[in-house]
A and B are shown apart, each in its own frame.
Chain A
Amino acid sequence: MAKAKVAFYWCASCGGCEEAVIDLNEDILKVVDAVDIVFWPVALDFKYKDIEAMKDGEIAVSFINGAIRNSEQEEIVKLLRKKSGLVVAFGSCSHLGGIPGLANFHDREAILTRSYETAPTVVNPDRILPQLSTKMPEGELTLPEFSETVKALDQVIDVDYYLPGCAPPADLIMGAVTAILEGNLPEKGSVLAPEKSLCGDCPRGEKKPEKLVMKDVKRVHEIIPDPEKCFLEEGLICLGPATRSGCDSRCIKANMPCRGCFGPTKEVRDQGAKMASAIASILGLEGEEEFSEEKAAEIVNKIADPAGTFYRFSLPSSLLRTRKRE
């Protein structure tokens, strides 16, 4: 029997998802033995024309990482969608927009202007910007179009499953691959990770007080946190309450608070709104006489860049992004 054909592709991403696949170590042997990898630019010398030459649906599954930032990425993911039975959004950028999605706080023009005109090292008196088409003496050179906004993968093509994380951990990757190969998949649209929130998994959970109160807000460089206490109790913003578990609390174990790369749990539509509500409920305002409204406002204002923090990995797929752009 012919082996299942598998493709890996990256859009606006950093290569971390590709490293995550390599970090499967010995397990990747099982994967390579069970499937036929037909496209993987970082590792194998297949080109776009090889994919174009394939029949529709010929690829069993395409794993696509990265956000959608330009027209070439849109074209290739549509091509892969056509040629693939299943499409899995692999990693935070593809799942939710990821860190490149923070660009949706800024206009397209502002990004181009900064990069090519006003950055302090740039010398560009003729105000040249990258062009979709440039006539050179020998012929035309073309570039993909830098889009107005960054999109998550499912805002461009139909996505069957999501593997969360920046980057996804090895056990979840292997779990997904095994489920696909065995045809043992949950309902379409599922995120292939545990359902509970990160707080439920947190190694500091045991010492968490019964009623968690956040009395002040600090930034990571301002205090040395107790390595056993809940970060929120210490005044440090930690996205644990608004984030899906499954990452093995990797950042928390290094004594740094969560930034939410796994995205929200199933019941939550908007990770940032969930985080705002979580903070509001622990600020200790209710029944705490020492907190005047001014005091409350003062504390809340200490949250530096709430939007960029609460939506660190999910802005393009959030409600905020929809409201801003429509």
Chain B
Amino acid sequence: MAKRITINPITRLEGHGKIEIFLDDKGDVENAYFQVPELRGFEQFCVDRPADEMPRITTRICGVCPMAHHMAATKTLDDLFHVEPTPTARKIRELLYSIFMVEDHTLHFVYLGGPDFVVGPDAPATERNILGVIGKVGLEAAGKVIDTRKRLRAIITNIGGKIIHPVFGLPGGVSKGITEEEREEIVKVAKDTVEFAQFLLKLFDDVVLKNKTYVDLIVGDIYKHNTYYMGMVDENNHVNFYDGELRVVSPGGKEIAKFKAQDYLEHIAEHVEPWSYIKFPYLKAIGWKGFVDGEESGVYRVAPLARLNASDGMATPLAQSEYERMFDTLGGKPVHNTLAFHWARLVEALYAAERMLELAADPELTGTNIRNIPTATPDEGIGVVEAPRGTLFHHYQTDKDGILTGVNLIVATVNNSAAMCMSIKKAASGLIKGGNVSEGLLNMVEMAFRAYDPCLACATHSLPGEMPLEVNLYDSNKNLIRTIKRD
């Protein structure tokens, strides 16, 4: 009788998920499924709502990356109402978006994906979290993370209204401008943030790249898939999060498509399976061939590593040199190793920090012309941004009054859904042999999806000034297993 292993719920990600692993009589993996047990149905229940409310409704798709939905919705409204944002508004939007990207990437590396590397993939479950990370990297490093995150989130709160579910985006502009005093403060924070992103890359070098076991995991076959990659690029084919065209490269690294958001229907289709509420997007030109990789399969990947694979470089100097270093170290483009998403994420965090500084230094940022009022009749709009977890499509149709008649959304993580299923199966097959299953090995199966959909943190510990601190960790029997202390 074949045996079944269920991991439920999967943890340290944003949202709900379940893994079912089936073993054969020898105890080897026969198959493994990554299931998403949830649907909320935004595509239908947004219908009949006024389109202008979408930046405030779709933020509730994700409270971890609400800015991505807010911005995709806002850009879709520009297209729908046929209005361009003013130059100042555009810069304010991209500035806030850059701040969000660096903050969100940091959150993932330190709190969600981080524990697997920093504390160890098979460390006890009770330690494999942010508290374990603090124990390992020390309070000073952890304090830096908390402090940076807090300062970045404060800027978004001030200009965007709310950090969780911002409200400032409107067709043709933004609801609130930036004063000169605020701009000067943002420049200061941006300078520190560039240094901070470099510090994270150094931490990655020290903790991960200098550890042979981890490097073997990254470059090994268990976490590897030869797929297509998609990401947004600017006119120089450099990574861009806010605007540009979508570029798709083959598993061999060749550009096979480059298109505007408005043409996405020609390139992307979605497949449905009866055992998951998540849909499975694929490249229309190649077709759906099932959960397999290679040139023949339309499965593509998005998010940090995919963006770097799909681009020719980074638009800022420090990030560009880190981009080159990553590809040199891992054997050239494209890199197919799923765990390299973590490294790519930090290269992107550095780009976002540098871009934040560029925009903050721009005098036009404090202009007072922050909105163009739309005058054309609304009909149809499509907007795309690169969310931390990948390309995010919003597509609305309305009647002449701007009341929604059709909504289609391809949310960032959904693009990776087929690849995540494949990665779970491959990791499980490579790790579980002869019925030998440990909790640590199962966590290593979970690491296969965490590389894509990092997500929200946990008990963040801000470590202010001289405040003494003692954190005690207990196991389920109330036994003290660890004390983290700071005098």
Interface of A toward B, CB cutoff 8 Å = 2-3, 10, 12-26, 28-29, 31-33, 36-38, 40-48, 50, 53, 69-70, 72, 98-100, 102-103, 105-106, 110-116, 119-124, 128-131, 134, 136-139, 141, 143-144, 146, 166-167, 219-224, 250-251, 253-256, 259, 304-305, 308-309, 312
Q: What is the CB-to-nearest-CB distance from A185 to chain B, in angstroms, rounded to a whole number?
A: 24
Map CB proximity to A onto B443-487 as digits: 1 under 8 Å, 0 otherwise. 100000000000111111111100101111010101000000000
13 cross-chain CB contacts under 8 A: A19-B163, A33-B471, A43-B11, A43-B456, A47-B7, A102-B45, A115-B279, A121-B264, A138-B2, A220-B170, A254-B166, A305-B49, A305-B53
Q: Which of B22, B31, B39, B170 contacts A111 (CB 8 A)?
A: B39
| B27 adjacent to chain A (CB < 8 Å) | no
Q: Which residues of A contact B464 (CB under 8 A)?
A: 26
How long is the Cα–Cα vector from A256 to B161 in the complex, in angstroms? 8
Nearest Cβ distance between residue B448 and chain A, in whole angstroms?
Answer: 15
Complex Cα distance, B280 from A217, in Å, reads 42
Number of interface residues of B (CB under 8 A): 114
In the complex, what distance in Å separates the CA atom of A44 from the CA atom of B60?
A: 23
Closest to B150 in A: A25
Q: State A255–B47 Cα separation when bound (angstroms).
A: 26
B401-421 interface bits toward A, Cβ cutoff 8 Å, 1 = contact, 0 = none = 111001010100000000000
Which residues in B have their C-beta under 8 angstroms from that of A224? 371, 373
Tell me whether B52 is interfacial, beta carbon within 8 Å: yes
Complex-state Cα separation, A3 to B478, whole angstroms: 9
B225 within 8 A of A: no
| B356 contacts the other chain (CB 8 A) | no
Q: In the complex, which residues of chain A have a beta carbon less than 8 angstroms from the beta carbon of B406?
A: 120
Main secondary structure of the interface of B (DSSP, over half): loop
Nearest Cβ distance between residue B159 and chain A, in whole angstroms? 7
CB closest residue in chain B, given A32: B459
Who on chain A is nearest to B167 by CB?
Answer: A256
Alpha-carbon distance A20/B11, docked complex (angstroms)? 18
New A-B pairs, 19, CB < 8 Å, besides A12-B40, A120-B406: A10-B16, A13-B63, A25-B146, A28-B462, A29-B461, A47-B8, A47-B9, A70-B39, A72-B16, A121-B264, A121-B268, A123-B271, A131-B275, A139-B4, A220-B53, A221-B402, A250-B167, A305-B53, A308-B49
Shortest distance from the beta carbon of A293 to any chain B beta carbon, whole Å: 22
Are A144's CB and B37's CB within 8 A?
yes
Chain B residue at minimum C-beta to C-beta distance from A254: B161
- Mark interface residues in B151-174 (1 if CB within 8 Å of A CB, else 0): 001000101111111111011100
Contact B270 A26 (CB under 8 A): no
B38 within 8 A of A: yes
B91 within 8 Å of A (CB atoms):
no
Inter-subunit contact A43/B458 (CB<8 Å): yes
The answer, among B2, B125, B374, for a CB contact under 8 Å with A45, is: B125
- Near A by CB (< 8 A), chain B positions 33-48 give 33, 35, 37-41, 43-48
Task: Let me know if A106 and B41 touch, CB within 8 A.
Answer: yes
Q: When chains A and B are docked, how far (Å) is the Cα of A309 from the Cα of B39?
A: 23
Of the candidates B11, B160, B164, the one whose C-beta lies within 8 Å of that of A19 is: B164
Cβ–Cβ contact B9 & A33, under 8 A:
no
Known: A19-B64, A138-B2. A221 touches B275 (CB 8 A): no
| Cβ distance A183 to chain B, nearest Cβ, rounded Å | 21
Interchain nearest-CB distance for A174 vs B (Å): 13
**Which of B46, B467, B471 is in CB contact (< 8 Å) with A32?**
B471
By a CB distance below 8 angstroms, the chain B residues around A106 are 41, 44-45, 47
Cα A305 to Cα B77 in complex, Å, equals 18
Q: How far is the CB of B13 from chain A (nearest CB, A)?
A: 7
Contact partners of A166 in chain B: CB under 8 A: 60, 164-165
Contact A137 B272 (CB under 8 A): no
